[in-house]
Amino acid sequence: MADQPVLGELPDQRAVFRRAAPWLRGHRVALAAAVLLNLAGAALAVGVTAAIGRVVDAADDGDREALVGRVLLLLVAVAATGVLTWASRYWLIRVGERVLAGLREHATAAVGGAPLRFVEAHRGGELLRRLTGELDGLARFAGGTLPDLVAAALVLVFTVVMLALYSWPLTLALLIGFLPPAVLIVRRFQRRAGDAYAGVAAAETAVAARFAESLPAREQLRISGAVPRWLKRFRADNDRLRAAREREVVTELTLNLLTLLQAGCVAGLLVLSALFVGYGRLSVGVAVVFVLATRDILGRFEDLAASLGEARSAHVRLARLLDLVRATGASPAGGVAGGVDPVGLPARGRLVLTGVGFTYGPGAPVVDGLSLTVAPGERLVVVGPTGAGKSTVGKLLAGLYPPDRGTVTYGGHELTALTARSLRSRIVLVPQEVTLVAGTLGENLAMVAGRPGPDRVAAVLDTLGLSGWVASLPGGLGTPLEADSLSTGERQLVAIARAVLADPAVLVLDEATAGVDRETAARIEDALSAAAGDRALVVIAHRAETVARGHRVLTMPEGTVGGVRR
């Protein structure tokens, strides 16, 4: 079995920002503008504190003219600070949202273009959580915490520089008294935060996955009386989430020690400032600046430390999202790596399997050494008992599964070497369970490459003998499709019409008539016959009527091919 990349519950958190850097391409000028605005805003905010000291000194000296001038300058600085703070915050949020929008598109395209094996190897809730929950958390961080974090860090640095210019002894005393214990507290938090936040993210994913799996099966759970067993499993997931949340809260409470440290430092600085003023080493205005700036420094540091929790959580979310992109093989340039558009790929060609083997997991292969050729215009029927590998063969023929051994080629080109666009324009699979999207019948039919117009849709419906059925619907092609507005057979008719609109060379149908009445099955069979033409049909079926319409029969799991007895 070929190795299949899987998502890690606790992904690698090393070098996350370096790995995310390629997604900043195209945003670097805007990011530089955001940095400059934040630098200017922080510098001006610190300048307001210095201006307050100058106003106090002018008042203490009794210089009325200087006092008026400095008050006016202070008012201008306050107003400018407000404008710059708003502009810097807005621009940073704007850049962050645009980066996240691009990353959201890349991640969605990565999952949409990922190998079917990758999707089937993960719970639906796991993929949904990473595409929605992790990005929503990052958006909240970018729009709320990140601007505060950047502003606090810049103001903190500029304030320390300003205080050092006023009095380096007091600044040194402040740093010696505050920084070492503060760093120890933050480091203790950081050591615990990674596992704590990753544990919460993994537990939230488990709960989301449990819900995602149970909702489609709600009727079966009630009919079979399995609701208590489901609730027991959900309770275990919920207990895991509660325990993870408790660890997260205990970790965050470590930062509360900074409040006690702040109070002690402010008290100590007040005593030192009073002594310096008494000995004539500082003016009253400078002392006021020190007291105000110190409170600002300690408050900003506390805000910074408090934001570290959300920053650490965002770090984990980004790591989980990048892990998803990595596992799907997507690149920052967009799409999934691999595949070329070959020159001379025929519009109608032979589909050839040569020595194909495929295994889902440890144990015997589901398909072993299968060789087969499907020619244009041929109708091959695949039969066999449940679990014999019929659907697997269909997915191998459609290129949804790459073979573990052997090759699958179309027109002499391996399917694994083709781009998704080339492959899907030549080979289309109609699954047994057809999914329709919210919208009208016409919009669902037009969900193929090239967006066929009304004339093309009408022509295909007429060829398939479905025009009367469409006309019988309340709104024709404009009929809105709800969750249960069409029967299983009618969904199959929509899927077949949509497949024919793509005009593939090979049409693979997996149990197209399973679970429908004879009348609907006959309508589907007639539609298939009308769709055949010069294209190859591969029909996976149980019904004798369907088998009788075939040219050859592939019997699984033996892999033998024979003619149809008529």
- Confidence class of residue 314 from pLDDT cuts 50, 70 and 90? confident
At residue 55, what is the residue type?
V
pLDDT at position 515:
62
Instruction: Kindly provide the residue ranges of all beta strands, DSSP E only, lying in 450-535, ordered along the sequence.
Output: 480-481, 506-510
Please state the rounded mean pLDDT for residues 58-66: 74
Strands 536-540 and 379-383, by their bridges, are parallel
Question: Quick check: 458 pLDDT over 80?
Answer: yes
Query: Taking all residues of the chain, what is their mean pLDDT, rounded to a whole number?
Result: 78
Question: Quick check: 145 pLDDT over 80?
Answer: no
Q: How many CB atoms lie within 10 A of CB 308?
A: 19
pLDDT at position 566:
43
Q: Rounded CA gap, 406 and 415, in Å?
A: 12
Instruction: Name the nearest CA neighbour of 142 among 90, 195, 202, 83.
Output: 90
Between the alpha carbon of residue 520 and those of residues 150, 517, 552, the distances in Å are 64, 5, 24
| Dihedral sign from CA coordinates of 427, 430, 435, 436 | positive
DSSP assignments along 410-462, one per residue: ETTEEGGGB-HHHHHHHEEEE-SS----SEEHHHHHT-STT---HHHHHHHHH
pLDDT at position 565:
46
Instruction: Name the nearest CA neighbour of 469 among 436, 484, 454, 491.
Output: 491
Residue 380 DSSP one-character state: E
Please state the rounded mean pLDDT for residues 549-555: 82
Between the alpha carbon of residue 247 and those of residues 241, 250, 486, the distances in Å are 10, 5, 49
- pLDDT tens, position by position, 18-38: 777 777 777 778 878 888 888
pLDDT at position 336:
44
Judged by average pLDDT, the poorest of 93-107, 190-204, 268-282, 523-537 is 268-282
Instruction: Name the nearest CA neighbour of 289 among 277, 301, 278, 279.
Output: 277
pLDDT at position 4:
60
- Confidence class of residue 337 from pLDDT cuts 50, 70 and 90? very low
φ and ψ at 35, to 5 degrees?
A: -65, -45
- pLDDT tens, position by position, 283-307: 777 777 777 777 777 777 777 776 7
pLDDT at position 334:
47
Q: Among residues of the chain, what percentage have pLDDT more than 70?
A: 88
- Confidence class of residue 338 from pLDDT cuts 50, 70 and 90? low
Judged by average pLDDT, the poorest of 204-208, 283-287, 292-296, 336-340 is 336-340
Q: How many CB atoms lie within 10 A of CB 465?
A: 14
**For helices 488-501 and 454-463, angle between their N-to-C axes, nearest 10 degrees:** 120
Question: Quick check: 466 pLDDT over 50?
Answer: yes
- pLDDT tens, position by position, 374-430: 999 888 888 888 888 888 898 899 888 888 899 999 988 888 888 877 888 888 888
- pLDDT tens, position by position, 120-134: 777 666 777 777 777
Residue 532 in contact with residue 377, Cβ under 8 Å? yes
φ and ψ at 474, to 5 degrees?
A: -55, -40
Residue 415 in contact with residue 508, Cβ under 8 Å? no
For residue 439, the cross-strand partners are 481
Please state the rounded mean pLDDT for residues 268-291: 72
Looking at per-residue confidence, does 375 or 448 come out higher?
Answer: 375
Please state the rounded mean pLDDT for residues 215-227: 70
Is 0.85 topped by the overall pTM?
Answer: no
| Dihedral sign from CA coordinates of 215, 216, 219, 220 | negative
